[in-house]
């Protein structure tokens, strides 16, 4: 992107990732780093009890602050998305986390600020190593909580944003989720950050508050100064320093056009995901917390195609008992009834989640003991989860699926444990749905290649395209050096998807896609044309995908699939997809 000093002229463009839509213009307010400096101190043993008391006071103060922020956020968003801060509160309520801080303070006779910092970084490091994108994003939540606790220990109150008296576009290296939740539209018209991603809680907060935002701008804090006038496009992820009159006019027209398009999308809320020639697909939502149910309903999804059960385990570092799981799953199913809910069994790695000891280090954790492999190595705990899901299935609308299946033996072992769990519940006269549908995630190449064999033992497939792409073309999409190679339309990826769909249908089972490909309105028609029966996406993406499905006939989608499957490159395949959408629903290209 060049040197910051050379990139501040009129009309300078910076490109990042748009995470909250809207076009805004205004003066910049540079928000200084929110990092807290901790000075290490050695304490005498007799001082430790006082230090622990300070910690408890700081935890209480932090909880009060987060509850206040949560209540305010709920009031400003009509109850939507305030549950995001539950992740923060779970950290504070996790006694294993707190006890680890206390143990470190006593063992090392250090001031408690040091213990909070170090233990939080251990937790953050563990989460950062996980396969699941959403769980890796929770690193920011842990660090956010630790920063607030340390600030309360130090008596440090951050008032930087409190000095704003008129609307600004806030520019920062990063924004913590709880800080984002306090942004007020009367003084913050938008924000831009060096770091960040679309799935972070900071991004979700921005969308909930309807504050335009662009993240991952890399060095934007070095390229602008407080007072600079910038134009920011939260749809396309563009920030323009000192825009020209022509650019202002162009973006003003675009902003009005987008508002009109979004009003049209809202009108689709109660319409089915059905092509103009009558081909119907199921359009579901991916969620990770029961409190996201309202978002599922508000955006017109037909149920939950992926419920990430990890949220119950994420901050515990220990087993979550069957009863607590059953209550959470039943709440989810009851509130969405009669819409279907697919619960994915635990998709995590490392002994940290089953024992209080440290996580086992692996040379290559992405190819290591995780997901279904980990569950099968801990059959007792796995059966606890299976029984909890079965108990929730008594509502009649619950399905379940196993993650990261790579061979049929894993399915047979899991199904055997499921049969044992069913028998145990029968013996206790506990009701459940005897014929509960059981599926598998197809997210590694071996599962797609052996899909005909797997299909004989399950009721459905759900293609996790994020990992299927990553494993197929050997690309870590969060590695900046190779991320450009991450290509959903790579010929090998498309052939594996088609192979899995055809194998499933040949055995009489339905096939869904719950990865990011399904949420892209440019690629959704291609998936429909390849025969996919269900698309499951983030709730906010449902209207866009629904519009794409309703704009292109099934015959057109099938023809597109036939053409694309003959392409020799992903670039060529993507071009055909974009041309199809541009011809049928050009307005969608303005929103992606």
Tokens of 554: 């099934």
Q: Of 432, 395, 400, give the one whose Cα is nearest residue 415.
A: 400
Of 110, 299, 490, 514, the active-site residue reads: 514
N-term to C-term CA, the chain: 23
**Rounded-to-integer distance, Cα 550 and Cα 534, Å:** 14
User: With contact defined as beta carbons under 8 Å apart, do 139 and 124 qualify?
Assistant: yes
Q: Of 548, 539, 478, give the one whose Cα is nearest residue 520.
A: 548
Q: Of 185, 202, 191, give the one whose Cα is nearest residue 88.
A: 202
Q: 382: part of which helix (H) or strand (E)?
A: helix 379-392
Tokens of 156: 């440090």
Q: Of 546, 538, 432, give the one whose Cα is nearest residue 199.
A: 538
Which pLDDT score, from 0 to 100, does residue 333 have?
Answer: 96
Catalytic residue at 201? yes
**Rounded-to-integer distance, Cα 90 and Cα 452, Å:** 42
Taking residue 32's Cβ as centre, other Cβ atoms within 10 Å add up to: 10
Is the pTM higher than 0.85? The answer reads no
Tokens of 11: 């009309």
Tokens of 523: 């690629």
Q: Is 380 left (phi over 0), alpha (psi -120 to 50) or beta?
A: alpha
CA 32 to chain centre: 27
Q: What is the dihedral of CA 150, 151, 154, 156, to 10 degrees?
A: 170
Q: Of 117, 120, 141, 137, give the one whose Cα is nearest residue 128.
A: 137
Which pLDDT score, from 0 to 100, does residue 462 have?
Answer: 98
**Rounded-to-integer distance, Cα 30 and Cα 283, Å:** 41
User: With contact defined as beta carbons under 8 Å apart, do 158 and 34 qualify?
Assistant: yes
Q: 27: part of which helix (H) or strand (E)?
A: strand 23-30
**Rounded-to-integer distance, Cα 73 and Cα 78, Å:** 8
**Rounded-to-integer distance, Cα 154 and Cα 37, Å:** 10
588 by DSSP, 3-state: which? helix
Which pLDDT score, from 0 to 100, does residue 59 have?
Answer: 93
**Rounded-to-integer distance, Cα 399 and Cα 405, Å:** 17
**Rounded-to-integer distance, Cα 73 and Cα 254, Å:** 29
**Rounded-to-integer distance, Cα 410 and Cα 404, Å:** 10
**Rounded-to-integer distance, Cα 418 and Cα 99, Å:** 35
Of 88, 168, 201, 299, the active-site residue reads: 201
Q: 136: part of which helix (H) or strand (E)?
A: helix 133-136
Tokens of 198: 């679309």
Instruction: Express each pLDDT in 62-74 by its tens digit.
Output: 998 888 888 777 7
Instruction: Express each pLDDT in 314-351 by its tens digit.
Output: 655 557 889 999 999 999 999 999 999 999 999 876 43
Which pLDDT score, from 0 to 100, does residue 357 have?
Answer: 38
Q: Domains of the chain by range and CATH? A: 6-32+167-202+210-243 (3.50.30.10), 45-154 (1.10.274.10), 276-359+369-590 (3.20.20.60)
Q: Is 327 left (phi over 0), alpha (psi -120 to 50) or beta?
A: alpha
> Residue ranges of the chain with pLDDT lower than 70?
1-11, 34, 76-84, 130-137, 157-163, 199, 314-318, 349-366, 477-481, 483, 591-592
């Amino acid at each position: 992107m060049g040197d910051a000093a050379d990139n501040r002229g009129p009309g300078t463009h910076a490109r990042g990732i748009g995470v909250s839509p809207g076009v805004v213009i205004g003066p910049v307010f540079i928000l200084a780093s929110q990092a807290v400096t901790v000075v290490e101190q050695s304490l005498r043993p007799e001082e430790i009890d006082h230090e622990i008391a300070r910690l408890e006071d700081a935890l209480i103060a932090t909880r009060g602050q987060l509850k206040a922020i949560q209540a305010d956020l709920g009031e400003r968003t009509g109850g939507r998305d305030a549950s995001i801060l539950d992740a923060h509160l779970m950290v504070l309520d996790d006694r294993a986390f707190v006890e680890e801080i206390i143990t470190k303070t006593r063992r090392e006779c250090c001031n408690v600020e040091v213990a909070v910092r170090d233990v939080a970084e251990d937790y953050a490091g563990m989460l950062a190593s996980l396969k699941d994108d959403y769980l890796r994003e929770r690193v920011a939540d842990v660090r956010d909580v630790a920063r607030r606790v340390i600030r309360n220990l130090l008596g440090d109150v951050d008032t930087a944003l409190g000095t704003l008296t008129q609307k600004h576009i806030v520019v920062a290296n990063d924004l913590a989720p709880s800080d984002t939740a306090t942004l007020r539209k009367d003084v913050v018209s938008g924000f831009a950050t060096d770091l960040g991603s679309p799935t972070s809680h900071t991004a979700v907060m921005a969308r909930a508050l309807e504050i335009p935002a662009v993240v991952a701008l890399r060095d934007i804090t070095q390229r602008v100064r407080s007072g600079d006038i910038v134009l920011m496009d939260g749809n396309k992820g563009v920030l323009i320093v000192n825009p020209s009159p022509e650019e202002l006019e162009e973006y003003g027209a675009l902003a009005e056009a987008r508002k009109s398009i979004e009003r049209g999308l809202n009108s689709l809320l109660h319409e089915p995901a059905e092509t103009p020639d009558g081909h119907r697909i199921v359009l579901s939502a991916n969620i990770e917390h029961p409190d996201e149910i309202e978002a599922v309903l508000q955006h017109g999804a037909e149920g939950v195609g992926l419920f990430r059960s990890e949220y119950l385990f994420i901050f515990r570092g220990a087993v979550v008992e069957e009863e607590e799981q059953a209550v959470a799953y039943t709440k989810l199913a009851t509130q969405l009834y009669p819409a279907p809910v697919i619960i994915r069994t635990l998709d995590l790695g490392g002994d940290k989640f089953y024992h209080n000891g440290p996580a086992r280090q692996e040379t290559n954790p992405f190819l290591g003991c995780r997901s279904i492999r980990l569950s099968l190595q801990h059959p007792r705990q796995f059966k606890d989860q299976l029984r909890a899901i079965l108990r929730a299935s008594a509502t009649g609308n619950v399905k379940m699926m196993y993650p990261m299946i790579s061979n049929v033996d894993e399915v047979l072992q899991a199904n055997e444990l499921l049969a044992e769990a069913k028998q145990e519940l029968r013996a206790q006269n506990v009701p459940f749905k005897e014929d509960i549908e059981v599926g598998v995630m197809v997210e590694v190449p071996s599962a797609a290649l052996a899909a005909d064999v797997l299909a004989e033992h399950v009721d459905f497939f759900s293609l996790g395209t994020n990992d299927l792409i990553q494993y197929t073309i050997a690309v870590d999409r969060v590695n900046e050096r190779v991320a450009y190679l991450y290509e959903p339309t790579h010929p090998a990826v498309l052939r594996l998807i088609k192979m899995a769909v055809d194998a499933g249908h040949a055995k009489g089972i339905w096939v869904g896609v719950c990865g990011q490909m399904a949420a892209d309105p440019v690629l959704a028609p291609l998936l429909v044309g390849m025969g996919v029966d269900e698309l499951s996406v983030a709730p906010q993406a449902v209207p866009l995908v629904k519009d794409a499905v309703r704009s292109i006939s099934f015959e057109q989608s099938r023809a597109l699939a036939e053409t694309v499957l003959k392409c020799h490159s992903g670039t060529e395949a993507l071009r055909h997809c974009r041309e199809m959408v541009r011809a049928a629903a050009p307005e969608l290209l303005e929103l992606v």
